[in-house]
Structure 1
Amino acid sequence: MPKPARFILLLSAALFGAALFPAPLGPLPALAAETLAETVERAAPSIRVAAAQRREMVVTLDVTGTVLPRQEAAVGTDLNGMIVNELTVDRGDRVKKGAVLAVLDRSMLDTQLAQMDANRAQAEASIAQVRAQITDAEIGVRQAEEALERARRLQAKGVAAQAQLDNAVNAFDSARAKQIAAEKALAASEAQLAVIDAQKSNVLLQIEKTQVKAPADGLVLSRNATLGGIVGASGGALFRIAIDGELELAAGVPETSLARIKPGMPVAVRLPGISEPLSGTIRMIEPEVDQKLRMGTIRVSLPDDNDVRAGNFARGAIELLRREAVAVPASALVYRGEDAFVQKLEDDRIATTPVTIGAREGAWVEIREGVVMGDEVVARAGTFVADGDLITPMRDEQTGAVGQ
């Protein structure tokens, strides 16, 4: 039998006995009233209560993803059939812009360069020869022109025959034609020299490309070149470099949560094997949502840390909110439809009070309206008691519980 019922039964028996056998001194009525009050007090159920506290509420969103380079450079060559003679870097090395990563065999190109030099020397000699021919043709034209002028004067005086004049005209035309032909031969020789120079420049450019260089400062992620291997334009990249060595977390976020996320929000990033989280920030929210998975992607900038590797799996906790607020245990709330209530304690009696809730953090819920700091509420609402019931409050210091 429950204790309150047993007390009431004993009290009733005592009062009934007092009525049948009255005591001579008559103090029993006072004693009975005191016992009755004590029994009623003992009959009030003991309920654990909790005080509304002012806490720092931190709301986070957990995400997972993969560590990737922020920007990546693929380093290769457009030379075909070249043999790798030397490799100067390996995976994990940090390089500077312009640093030589690999050296290719240039012997074939050196041969072509020697041929270009010989062809150029030949073209220069040809140009000199043609210029000499032009000079000779110019002299011939001048002599023919002088002979033509004399023939014209003699013809005017009636001394020279018409045939003599005609011969002088033909000689002048022939000399002039030879001059024009020599000038055109010079233009052709000079054009040939320009072609040879262009070909030489191309060979020099290819020779320069035999030194595969880093396009930017960064971290070497992969090396596909092998010593003695033959490379080509269709063989893919020889090296992959994370520009400036910057790595970031690419994490998936449900599309329903994207509106709560903004660039610049702090993210605590945890990687396997690293005990302390890394402090990151959201750099970018990608503009496209995966239509099949209904997931968006965020890019989280990571600090420079030698323990972080491209390809690492990582977990992130995005800090959506941080503020001071009045909060109660989540178990203190009871719901009727979408409305929330707490069972607040007023003079040891239950007062069901509507509240406006805010952020949630673990086992605590922010109360925006309806409860102030220090108000006591039933720690586990909705059981055993109703509005207006008298209770015996059991606080943390009485129960030995420790508030979180």
Structure 2
Amino acid sequence: MTITLTFLFAACSQDEKEKGQEPNADVKPATYPTAPVQLINPEYEISIPAELKPYEQVAVYAKVTGFVKQLHVDLGDRVRKGQLLAVLEAPEMEQQYLADKSMAQKVHSDYLYAKQAYDRLVDAAKTAGAVAHIELDRAKSTMESTRSAYEASKAGAAHASQLQQYLRITAPFDGVITERNVSVGAMAGTGVNVPLFMVAQGHRLRLTLSLPEKHASSVKQDMQATFTVRSQPGKTFSVVLSRTAGLLDQQNRSLTLEFDVNNSLGQLQGGEYAQAKLTLQRHSPSYWVPGKSLLNTQSGTYIMTWNAGEIRRIPVTEGVRLDSLTEVFGDISPQDSILLKPSAEIKVGTIIK
């Protein structure tokens, strides 16, 4: 539809009247095409870069210091959880364990002797006057002291035994060896910053992407998506949303989405870049106008409305673009008529029809 706006010209100057010139009686109309505001909630599709990552990936370090004695895996080997990867040796640790174990055995014998002596005194004390109370208390104190010493020494031996277990490096989960950074004879341990191995889970991957802030409110639970990778042109993979960060990243103002990818057939490689396509929809309808009805100026973005004979310039914020329509947010209503060809030269205010 169109709106015909009639502008009334001011009267001619006094000089023109004196010359006998008549003011223009004819009014020159100006025609501006318009369109209604649409309150709709369409689905829209966006394409966004993503990355395929191993579902789990960990650097394997040695918990104790020692020399690499044996290596049982190499780069690219597939391993199972708990599988032995390497064995370290630390002779001083073995000596410490033997010393702690021997001490625990000695203190245990002392405890058994003290307990036996106390039990005998208890039996003897059943006969009145056979054992002095102070002797009985002294024997009980000795027994309890040796028992405490035995518990402490037993804990020390268990600690040394546990440290020995750390000499055996095992896989934390099912995966593949992506890095091997040591050789037999190399030192490993707490003072070495380089991990022995990198283990990654390849049969299950994470598709991770950063969704721009303006689309964050369109994310729904169990949302489906598709993605492609350059290594397999023409092939499309389907996934379902698994989790979101919940909050926007403060640095890039985006929402992180993760999709779990079943890679049991080994078609995909962790670390690949992907191109994901998402079908999004707002939680509630919003206002949409033709894209050409937006007026972009140095002071901001506007639309021009005509209602009840009045032209207004309304500041808006752009949302999503869909074909020829653009989502806008501002002080507008479905009853507004939008000028399709706005211009900074069009004056705002009341216009006489």
> Shorter chain as normaliser: what TM range?
0.5 to 0.7
Give the alignment partner of residue 283 of structure 1, picking from 222, 229, 242: 242
Which whole-Å CA distance do the structure 1 matches of 2:216 and 2:119 have between them?
83
Which whole-Å CA distance do the structure 2 matches of 1:71 and 1:181 have between them?
60
Give the alignment partner of residue 172 of structure 2, picking from 196, 215, 231: 215
After TM superposition, list the pairs within 5 Å mapping 1:116-265 onto structure 2.
Answer: 116-131=100-115, 133-134=117-118, 145=129, 173=132, 176-233=133-190, 235=192, 237-243=195-201, 245-265=203-223
Give the alignment partner of residue 298 of structure 1, picking from 250, 254, 257: 257
Please report how far the alpha carbon of residue 63 of structure 1 lies from its aligned counterpart in structure 2 after TM superposition: 0.8
Give the alignment partner of residue 50 of structure 2, picking from 59, 65, 68: 65
Sort the Cα spacing of 1:186 and 1:319 in 2 relative to 1 into closer, same or farther, 3 A: same
**Does the CA-based 8 Å contact 2:203-2:262 persist in structure 1?**
no
Superimposed CA distance per residue, residues 87-130 of structure 1 (whole angstroms, 9 cap, x where no aligned partner): 32334433222222222215333322322332233224434544
Under a length normalisation based on structure 1, what TM-score does the superposition of the two structures give? 0.50
After TM superposition, list the pairs within 5 Å mapping 1:10-159 onto structure 2.
Answer: 60-79=45-64, 81-131=65-115, 133-134=117-118, 145=129
Please report how far the alpha carbon of residue 214 of structure 1 lies from its aligned counterpart in structure 2 after TM superposition: 2.5
**Does the CA-based 8 Å contact 1:263-1:285 persist in structure 2?**
no
Letter of the aligned partner of 1:295 in structure 2?
S
Please report how far the alpha carbon of residue 203 of structure 1 lies from its aligned counterpart in structure 2 after TM superposition: 1.7
Which whole-Å CA distance do the structure 1 matches of 2:163 and 2:169 have between them?
11
Structure 2 unmatched ranges of 5 or more: 1-41, 282-289, 295-320, 326-353
Larger radius of gyration: 1
Secondary structure of the residue aligned to 1:190 is helix
Secondary structure of the residue aligned to 1:67 is strand
Which whole-Å CA distance do the structure 1 matches of 2:254 and 2:291 have between them?
32
Matched, 1:309 2:269: yes
Please report how far the alpha carbon of residue 295 of structure 1 lies from its aligned counterpart in structure 2 after TM superposition: 3.0
Which whole-Å CA distance do the structure 2 matches of 1:317 and 1:130 have between them?
77
Sort the Cα spacing of 1:134 and 1:273 in 2 relative to 1 into closer, same or farther, 3 A: closer
1:326 counterpart residue number: none
Letter of the aligned partner of 1:259 in structure 2?
S
Secondary structure of the residue aligned to 1:98 is coil
Superimposed CA distance per residue, residues 207-260 of structure 1 (whole angstroms, 9 cap, x where no aligned partner): 222222223333444444543332334645544444574212222322223333
Which whole-Å CA distance do the structure 2 matches of 1:293 and 1:132 have between them?
73
**Does the CA-based 8 Å contact 1:92-1:220 persist in structure 2?**
yes
Letter of the aligned partner of 2:273 in structure 1?
F
Instruction: Determine which structure has the larger strand proportion and give its number.
Output: 2
Letter of the aligned partner of 2:248 in structure 1?
V
Letter of the aligned partner of 2:216 in structure 1?
L
**Does the CA-based 8 Å contact 2:60-2:197 persist in structure 1?**
yes
Letter of the aligned partner of 1:212 in structure 2?
I
How many residue pairs match? The answer is 248
Letter of the aligned partner of 1:280 in structure 2?
V
Which whole-Å CA distance do the structure 1 matches of 2:43 and 2:71 have between them?
51
1:398 counterpart residue number: none
- CA RMSD of the aligned region, Å? 3.8
Give the alignment partner of residue 274 of structure 1, picking from 210, 228, 232: 232
Sort the Cα spacing of 1:129 and 1:258 in 2 relative to 1 into closer, same or farther, 3 A: closer
Please report how far the alpha carbon of residue 320 of structure 1 lies from its aligned counterpart in structure 2 after TM superposition: 4.5
Secondary structure of the residue aligned to 1:302 is strand
Superimposed CA distance per residue, residues 156-186 of structure 1 (whole angstroms, 9 cap, x where no aligned partner): xxxxxxxxxxxxxxxx65xx43443333222
Which whole-Å CA distance do the structure 2 matches of 1:134 and 1:302 have between them?
68
Which whole-Å CA distance do the structure 2 matches of 1:135 and 1:94 have between them?
60
Which whole-Å CA distance do the structure 2 matches of 1:107 and 1:84 have between them?
12
Which whole-Å CA distance do the structure 1 matches of 2:159 and 2:196 have between them?
22
Letter of the aligned partner of 2:254 in structure 1?
M
**Does the CA-based 8 Å contact 2:78-2:177 persist in structure 1?**
yes
Letter of the aligned partner of 1:66 in structure 2?
E
Sort the Cα spacing of 1:281 and 1:235 in 2 relative to 1 into closer, same or farther, 3 A: farther
Which whole-Å CA distance do the structure 2 matches of 1:257 and 1:137 have between them?
83
Which whole-Å CA distance do the structure 2 matches of 1:64 and 1:231 have between them?
39
**Does the CA-based 8 Å contact 1:216-1:244 persist in structure 2?**
no
**Does the CA-based 8 Å contact 2:202-2:266 persist in structure 1?**
no
What is the percent sequence identity of the aligned residues? 19
Under a length normalisation based on structure 2, what TM-score does the superposition of the two structures give? 0.57
**Does the CA-based 8 Å contact 1:255-1:295 persist in structure 2?**
yes
